[in-house]
Amino acid sequence: MNLAQDNRRLFTRLALVAVGMFGFGYLLVPFYYQICAAWGVNSFGDVADKPVNSQIDTTRSITIEFDSNVHGVAWRFKPLVNHIDVHPGQVATVEYEVTNERAVPVTAQAVPSYGPQLAGEYFKKIECFCFTQQTLAPGEVRRMPVTFVVDPKLPKDVNSIALSYTFFEVAGLGGKS
């Protein structure tokens, strides 16, 4: 009988240790958040606490006009909007749509140009279909984004920028029809 009592005590102690370990693990999450909040680390904060882009110049607005051309490529190519107004420093995205009107795949590269010409050094593209060659299957229609920001250092007398893309076929990669 002594052995049976010892086994019950041992089982009770093991059960208490298991419950204690479970409780400790369960309470660790709120303790973690409280410690992080007290020390100011790993803080997710409220939306109101998130930093604001202070580089946006809200005192002026720049009109960006979009144009599209093709040279020697049987593609239809157009911007989905003709123009937008942005503040310098503000990130913006526009889309162009291109359609391969040939019965064969065609590879082409877009080349940008700016008006006035000096605007090119202040027009910073983050994402652009012009960075790589584009291959479209026969009849394929594709929407392609351009994400950009106008540098706040753009001279104050520049109030509009024309962005024009021209697609040129990449020699030897597209079929001729």
- For residues 96 and 68, the answer to whether their CB atoms sit within 8 Å is yes
Whether residue 33 is found in the same domain as residue 83? no
Residues 16 and 74 in one domain: no
Same domain for 92 and 133 = yes
- What is the domain extent for residue 11? 1-49
Same domain, 40 and 68: no
Q: Is residue 174 part of a domain?
A: no
76 and 118 housed in the same domain: yes
Which residues sit opposite 124 in a β-bridge? 149
Q: What is the pTM of this model?
A: 0.66
Percentage of the chain lying above the pLDDT 90 cut = 61
Q: Is residue 112 part of a domain?
A: yes
Note the pLDDT tens digit of each residue in 93-105.
Answer: 999 999 999 999 9
Q: What per-residue confidence (pLDDT) applies to 149?
A: 94
For 6-49, write each residue's pLDDT tens digit. Answer: 888 888 998 888 888 888 887 877 877 777 777 777 655 554 45
Q: Are the CB atoms for 63 and 102 separated by under 8 Å?
A: no
H or E stretch covering 142 = strand 141-150
Residue 165: CATH number of its domain: 2.60.370.10
Tell me if 177 is assigned to some domain: no
Token pair of 129, please?
A: 């279909």
Residue given tokens 């370990």 in the structure block: 21
Looking at the structure, tell me whether residues 160 and 97 fall in a common domain: yes
Number of structural domains the chain divides into: 2
